[in-house]
Amino acid sequence: MRSSDFDLFIIGGGVNGCGIARDAAGRGLSVCLAERNDLASATSSASTKLFHGGLRYLEYFEFRLVRDALIERETLLRAMPHIAWPMRFVLPYHPDMRFDSETPTSRLLTRILPGMKGRRPAWLIRLGLFLYDSLGRCQILPGTERLDLADSPEGQPLQDRFRLAFEYSDCWVEDSRLVVLNARDAAERGARIMVRTEVTSARRMKDHWLIEMVDKDSGQTHSATADMLVNAAGPWAAETVTATIGQGASARLRHVRGSHIVVERLYDHDKCYFLQGSDGRIVFAIPYETDFTLIGTTDVDHADIGERPYCTDEERDYLLAFVNRYFDRQLSAGDVVWTYSGVRPLYDDGAQTAAAATRDYVIEADTDGALLINIFGGKITTYRKLAEHALDEIAAHRPDIAPGWTAGVALPGGDFPVDAFDSQVEALRQRYPFLDIGWARRLARAYGTDAFTLLGDARNAGDLGRDFGARLTQREVDWLVEKEWAREADDILWRRSKLGLRFDSAMVARLSDYMDRQTRRSAAE
Ligand SMILES: Cc1cc2nc3c(=O)[nH]c(=O)nc-3n(C[C@H](O)[C@H](O)[C@H](O)COP(=O)(O)OP(=O)(O)OC[C@H]3O[C@@H](n4cnc5c(N)ncnc54)[C@H](O)[C@@H]3O)c2cc1C
C-alpha cells in the first residue's frame, strides 16, 4: 500500500534535475520535480553549450572524465539531432602559447625538458588531440586534421602570424532546450513538473520525506511526501543540504563564475576557434544564432551565491582582449550586443585556481533513513550518465525498478537520423511552403519532428495567429506555454529560444502583455 505521494521528489529544474526526472519516470517511478524559477534559469542556460570531452582537462590528467564525456557525445547526438550537432574546432598554433604553469602536464614537461618551461609546443597539442580522438572512439565525428592557415578560409579572419592550426571535433547543444525537452519527456512518462515552486523545507520522517513548498506567483504554500529525495539544486546544492534539509554540512562546492559575450558575426564560416592565451587559459569563439559570434568563457571565483552573476566590465574586456590577439578585426566594448553569466557548481577538490577545480561530479547517497541523494558538480555533457548513476543508487533501495533505458531513446522531436537535419527542414518547407528557410531551420532546430505537430493544419502564416516579431507566432507561444512551462516573455525569448537577440523593447512588451492575459485567463478557468 503506497503511503507517500511520490516515489521520488527532485529539488531543482536544471539539466541534472530534469535528466534524473526523465530517467526515473521512464523506469516506472512516480516523480515530482520543483523548480523555484523557470526551468534552466540558472547554470543550465549559461553554459558554453558544448557536448565536449574537455580537451584542456587532459592537461590535468582527468582521463576518465574526458573519455566518458567523449564517448557520451555521440550517444547524445543520436538522441537529439535537432538541438545538438557536430562542430569543427580550429586551434591556431603560435609558439607564444603558454600553459597554466600549475597543470600536472606543465610540471611534468618542465621536469623532463626544463627548456620548455611553461610552453605548449605544437607536438604536444598534436599528441593531446591524438589522445582525444582515441579516447573518444568516434563513429560520427571526424578526427583531427592539420590546417595550413595561409591558404584556407579558416585562416582568413586571423592575423598573419598564425600559419598553422589543428582542427578537431566536438558538438554544440542548445543547453536550455535540452533541459526543457528532458522535462517534457519526463512529464510524458508521468512525472509532475512544477515551475516557480520553491522548496522551503524537506524533513526526513521515519520512512519518507515531508517537503514544504511555496508557489512563487500566488504565495500559497503546499506540501508533499516522497519515499526518496534528490537534491539537484546546482550551485545551491550545499546550501540546500544545510538550510533546506537541515543536515550538517557535507561536500563543499566551489562557485566559479563564467561569462560570455556575444558580438555580431566575426567571420563567415561555420567552424569554431579554440584560442589559447598567454595566461594558459583557453577561450572559444563560436558561430551563434546565424548572425552572431559567441565568445567565452571566464573563470572567476564567485564568493556570494546569493548574488546574481553578471558579466563584469573586467571580464568583458578580458574576453575582448583575448580575441583581439587572434583576429584582424579588432573588437571593442561597443561591439558587444549581449552578455550572460553563470556559476559553475564545482565540487571542491581543493584546487588552487578556479580553472583547475575538477569538472567531475560527485553523487552522495545518504541512506540513514529515507534515501537522500545529493548531486555536486557535473557538466551538461555528463547529465545523462549522472542521471543513470543516481538511478543506480536508487535501484539499490528499489530493486524492482526497470534497468537504464535513456542511451538509445530520442528526446521529444529528436526521432530522426543524426545526419538528416537538412531533409527535416526540406520536408517542413514542402508541407508548409509559406515558411522561409530561416524560419523553417529555426523551427526544425527547436522542435525537430514536433514542428509538424506545432504547425498542424496551417496553410499560411496567418493561420498561426499573431506575429510577435522575428517570426514568433501566437501558435508557437501557446505551444510553449501549454507544453513547455513558459510563463513570462523571458522564458520564451532567452530559454525556449534566443529570439531575445532580435526583439526590441516594444516587441517584448507586446509578448509580455499577451502572456499575462493568457496566464490570467487560465487562472480564472
Ligand atoms: C560558464 C559556464 C560554461 C559551461 N560550459 C559547459 C559546456 O560547454 N559543456 C558542459 O558540458 N558543461 C558546461 N558547463 C557546466 C554546466 O552548465 C553545469 O554543470 C550544469 O548546467 C549544472 O546543472 P545543474 O542542474 O546541476 O544546476 P542548475 O542548472 O543551476 O540547476 C539547479 C536549479 O535548482 C534550482 N533550485 C535551487 N534551489 C531550489 C529550491 N530550494 N527549490 C526549487 N528549486 C531550486 C535553481 O533555481 C536552478 O534552476 C558550464 C558552466 C558554466 C557556468
Question: Which residue out of 239, 284, 379, 385 has the highest number of ligand 1 atoms within 8 Å of its CB and is therefore the one to mutate?
Answer: 379
The single-letter code of the amino acid at 459 is R
309 CA from centroid of ligand 1 (Å): 13
Residue 99 banded pLDDT, cuts 50, 70, 90: low
Tell how far the Cα of 368 is from the centroid of ligand 1, in angstroms: 27
Mean pLDDT of 484-506: 98
Ligand 1 atom closest to Cα of residue 258: 1
pLDDT at residue 105, as a whole number: 66
Is residue 298 within 6 Å of ligand 1 at its C-beta?
Answer: no
Q: What is the mean pLDDT of residues 488-503?
A: 98
In the chain, % of residues over pLDDT 70:
95
pLDDT bucket at 5, cuts 50 / 70 / 90:
very high
Do 347 and 362 contact (CB within 8 A), yes or no? Answer: yes
Which of the pair, 316 or 281, is modelled with greater confidence?
Answer: 316
CA 13 to chain centre: 12
Q: Hey, is 343 helix, strand or coil?
A: strand
Crossing angle, helix 474-484 and helix 175-188, to 10 degrees? 60
Is the beta carbon of 378 within 6 A of some atom in ligand 1? Answer: yes
Q: Is the CB of 35 under 6 A from ligand 1?
A: yes
Dihedral class, residue 185 (left if φ above 0, else alpha if ψ from -120 to 50, else beta): alpha
Contacts of 256 (CB under 8 A, 6+ apart): 299, 300, 301, 302, 343, 344, 346, 354, 357
- Say how many Å lie between the CA of residue 14 and the centre of ligand 1: 5
Which pTM was predicted? 0.96
Answer yes or no: are the C-beta atoms of 172 and 49 closer than 8 Å.
yes
Note the pLDDT of residue 291. 97
- Output the pLDDT for position 519: 79
Say if ligand 1 is within 6 A of residue 319 CB. no
User: Is the CB–ligand 1 distance for residue 171 below 6 Å?
Assistant: no
Task: Report the 3 state secondary structure along 77-136.
Answer: HHHCCCCEEEEEEEEEECCCCECCCCCHHHHHHHHHCHHHCCECCHHHHHHHHHHHHHHH
In this structure, the residue with its CA closest to atom 41 of ligand 1 is 199
Are 378 and 361 contacting, i.e. CB atoms less than 8 angstroms apart?
yes
Closest C-alpha to ligand 1, atom 15: 379
* Residue-level pLDDT at 1: 47
Query: Would you say the CB of residue 15 lies under 6 angstroms from ligand 1?
Result: yes
Q: Please state, rounded to an integer, the average pLDDT across all residues of the chain.
A: 93
Q: What is the pLDDT of residues 306-353, one digit of tens each?
A: 999 999 999 999 999 999 999 999 999 999 999 999 999 998 877 777
Q: Which residue has the higher pLDDT, 116 or 392?
A: 392
pLDDT greater at residue 70 or residue 199? 199
Closest CA to 241 of 229, 250, 228: 250
* Side chain identity at residue 275, one-letter code: L
The pLDDT of residue 113 is above 70: no
| Among the listed residues 84, 176, 378, the one whose alpha carbon sits nearest the alpha carbon of residue 389 | 378
Please say if the pLDDT value at position 192 is more than 80: yes
Per the DSSP assignment, residues forming a β-bridge with 300 are 257
C-alpha cell at 122: 605544437
Q: What is the pLDDT of residues 22-74, one digit of tens each?
A: 999 999 999 999 999 999 999 999 999 999 988 877 877 788 888 888 999 99
Whether 413 has a pLDDT exceeding 80, the answer reads yes
pLDDT at 64: 83
Which of 49, 344, 358, 364 maximizes ligand 1 atoms within 8 Å of its Cβ, making it the mutation to test the pocket?
Answer: 344
For 259, the grid coordinates are 561569462
Ligand 1 site, residue 53, Cβ cutoff 6 A = no
